Structure 1
Amino acid sequence: MILVTGGLGFIGSHTVRALSDLGEDCVLVQRRAAEPPAALDGTRTVVERSDITDLTALLDVGARHKITGIVHLAGSMPWPPDPGRPVEQTREVIGGLCNVFEAARTWGVTRVGVASTIGVYGGVTAEGALGEDLPLPMTAPHLIPTFKKIGELLGGHLADAAGVEVVNYRISATWGPRDPHGPLFFAAPELVRAAALGTEPDLSLLGRPAYAEDAIDLCYVKDTGRAIALLQLADHLGHRTYNIGSGRATTNAEIIAAIRKTVPDARIDLPTGGTASRTHLDITRLRADTGYRPDYDTERAAADYLAWLRAGNER
């Protein structure tokens, strides 16, 4: 049975679905009482109320279930940040990560997967494909990549010291059903939402204006979840860190064209211009060690996401 933290969340729920499709039972730990979403109907999933910052409560989950692996997708950063509790929040999130490794050691779990982000490459000057061995700057422009870098380093230390295999998932920009962020980091989710609702996109949350030529490694969440599941279940992995993405840069113009295959009159035009780079994640390692290939190109992803929203789902 695979324990998944954050298993009721955006990427987490799709990962649980993928693990179930590959024959695995899952136990999800959730801070508050909750039921699995309809998307997990038919899966062999148990939800346990537990907080990873409470080591005793977390270890109790292992007393009730035979845990063979851990996929740690719960946010290991102080989000949203509380200006009045910076030290306390930092202590909590670092403590939660330590508890996950303590639980793995106690239960005899051999592999712990930990969510990282494409954001750790921020500040790297390379263009094109970003490989896992690229040197990373010690600074970060946002607290999310800051804490993901900390998590990778701390996880590596704990893995070596405790004898537990750790796998870092450097996850690219991810879009699809149940996305909680909207246009906080990139335009694609709001472009789809606006097309489904027949409105113009509201991109005011973006840190800078969006242009048609802007590009990012954009991965559909069902592919992201499947990649994580494959990494968790692989018999052998040759590396500690894996990029998870589409392996290509997708422009906003491509997303708009894909959306219009389903909604021809969508009012989602963006201005031309912009100076965004065309970097993307090199997924050679992931392909070689798991056989992963993205199932969803931009057009199929847009059509699937639109169908989800048009079925009455809010996000």
Structure 2
Amino acid sequence: MILVTGGLGFVGSHTVRALLEQGESCVLVQRRAAEAPTSLAGAPVDVTVEQADIGDLATLRAIGDRHDITGIVHLAGPMPWATGDERPVDDVRTALDGLLNIVTVAQEWGVRRLGVASTIGVYHGVDAEGPLREDMPLSMTSGHLIPAFKKVGELLGDHLASATGLDIVNYRIGAIWGPLGHPVDLFFPVPHLVHSAARGTAPDPAQLTNAHAEDAIDLCYVRDCGRAIALLQTADHLEHRTYNVASGRATTNAEVLDAIRTVVPDFAVELPTGGSGRRNHLDISRARKDVGYQPEYDTERAVADYIGWLRAGNDR
């Protein structure tokens, strides 16, 4: 049975679905009381939802008393966001405690693999064109809180894997979009464009970040992302401790607009030109070689699927 923190979230719910389709059973850890989402209805194996704060070690241990946990996918992302209480050190301690508690129970339960979510953002500051590989040296600085703490998590995970003998694997996740995602993303404009097209509204320029036509990023549709994580998590053996989880190509905003117009021909939105022109993407050769991962959703198929899902009455 695989425990998934953040299993009711955006990436988590798709990862759980993919794990269930592989015949795995799952325990979803949720800080607030909740039931399994309707998106998991009809899955081939039942799921169990446990209410727990990963900052509470005793509660996590109790889950292990009730279930035979054989693996963990740690997708919950506690961050030391500004809380207004002016206690940044305490906020950082709380954020790190969650990761350390997960490693503690993983060791106590003797799990086969602990997979930890990282981010494409760790490559910020890498001065390279083309593919971004897992073995590239990373910058010691970060432009945002999320990649900063993901880098810290990767370093801690590498140390703890060596010290404990645990198989701890980092999943560097690309720019994820699709069903259950937020309609506005802080880092790229695609979700907002798709939502606007599906609802027949004009996008709000204030909600469009990095929105030049030429701006590009490694867009990975969330269904592919969940499947990649599931393949990595259940593999008998992995050759590496870090894997890029992405599409393996850079997609421009202009390409997304073209794909949207194949579904919504009258979507009369034009983006400004003058973007950076950088075409970095994540190299997914490791995942291809080790677990046979291959993205199934190109831009047109992903846009059509997402718009169809939204038009079916889903709100995200």
Q: Which TM-score applies when normalising by structure 2?
A: 0.97
- 8 Å contact from structure 2 (residues 192, 207) kept in 1: no
- Letter in structure 1 aligned against 2:120: I
TM-aligned CA distance change 1:214 to 1:52, over 3 Å: same
Aligned residues with identical type, % of pairs: 65
2:291 is the alignment partner of 1:290: yes
Equivalent in the alignment of 2:111: 109
Give, in whole Å, the separation in 2 of the partners of 1:78 and 1:310: 36
Equivalent in the alignment of 1:146: 148
- In the TM superposition, 1:56-135 aligns within 5 A as 56-79=58-81, 82=84, 84-135=86-137
Q: Residue 227 of structure 1: SS of its match in structure 2? A: helix
TM-aligned CA distance change 1:117 to 1:157, over 3 Å: same
Deviations 1:278-310 (A, max 9, x none): 000000001000100001000000000001111
Equivalent in the alignment of 2:25: 25
Equivalent in the alignment of 1:45: 47
2:11 is the alignment partner of 1:11: yes
Give, in whole Å, the separation in 2 of the partners of 1:127 and 1:173: 18
Give, in whole Å, the separation in 2 of the partners of 1:203 and 1:114: 34
- 8 Å contact from structure 1 (residues 69, 111) kept in 2: yes
- Letter in structure 1 aligned against 2:20: S
- Letter in structure 1 aligned against 2:108: T
Q: Which runs of 4+ in 1 moved over 6 A?
A: none
Deviations 1:99-140 (A, max 9, x none): 001000111112100000000000000000000010001100
Deviations 1:10-30 (A, max 9, x none): 000000000001111000111
- 8 Å contact from structure 2 (residues 248, 283) kept in 1: yes
Deviations 1:49-85 (A, max 9, x none): 1111000000100100000000000014224655623
Q: Residue 63 of structure 1: SS of its match in structure 2? A: helix
Deviations 1:186-220 (A, max 9, x none): 01001100001111112414555x11111100000
Deviations 1:141-164 (A, max 9, x none): 100000000000011111111111
Q: List alignment gaps of at least 5 residues for structure 2.
A: none
- 8 Å contact from structure 1 (residues 5, 74) kept in 2: yes
Residue-pair matches, total: 314
Q: Residue 34 of structure 2: SS of its match in structure 1? A: coil
Give, in whole Å, the separation in 1 of the partners of 2:177 and 2:269: 17
- Find the partner of 2:173 among 171, 194, 205: 171
Give, in whole Å, the separation in 2 of the partners of 1:253 and 1:205: 17
Q: CA RMSD for the aligned pairs?
A: 1.2
- 8 Å contact from structure 1 (residues 68, 109) kept in 2: yes
- In the TM superposition, 1:223-262 aligns within 5 A as 223-262=224-263
Give, in whole Å, the separation in 2 of the partners of 1:135 and 1:275: 23
Stretch of structure 1 that moved more, 84-93 or 146-155 = 84-93
Q: Residue 206 of structure 2: SS of its match in structure 1? A: coil
Equivalent in the alignment of 1:278: 279
Give, in whole Å, the separation in 2 of the partners of 1:99 and 1:261: 47
Stretch of structure 1 that moved more, 78-87 or 222-231 = 78-87
Q: Which TM-score applies when normalising by structure 1?
A: 0.97
Equivalent in the alignment of 1:215: 216
- 8 Å contact from structure 2 (residues 7, 29) kept in 1: yes
Give, in whole Å, the separation in 1 of the partners of 2:271 and 2:83: 32
Equivalent in the alignment of 2:269: 268
Give, in whole Å, the separation in 2 of the partners of 1:82 and 1:286: 41
Q: Residue 204 of structure 1: SS of its match in structure 2? A: helix
Q: Residue 84 of structure 1: SS of its match in structure 2? A: coil
TM-aligned CA distance change 1:258 to 1:16, over 3 Å: same
- Letter in structure 2 aligned against 1:109: V
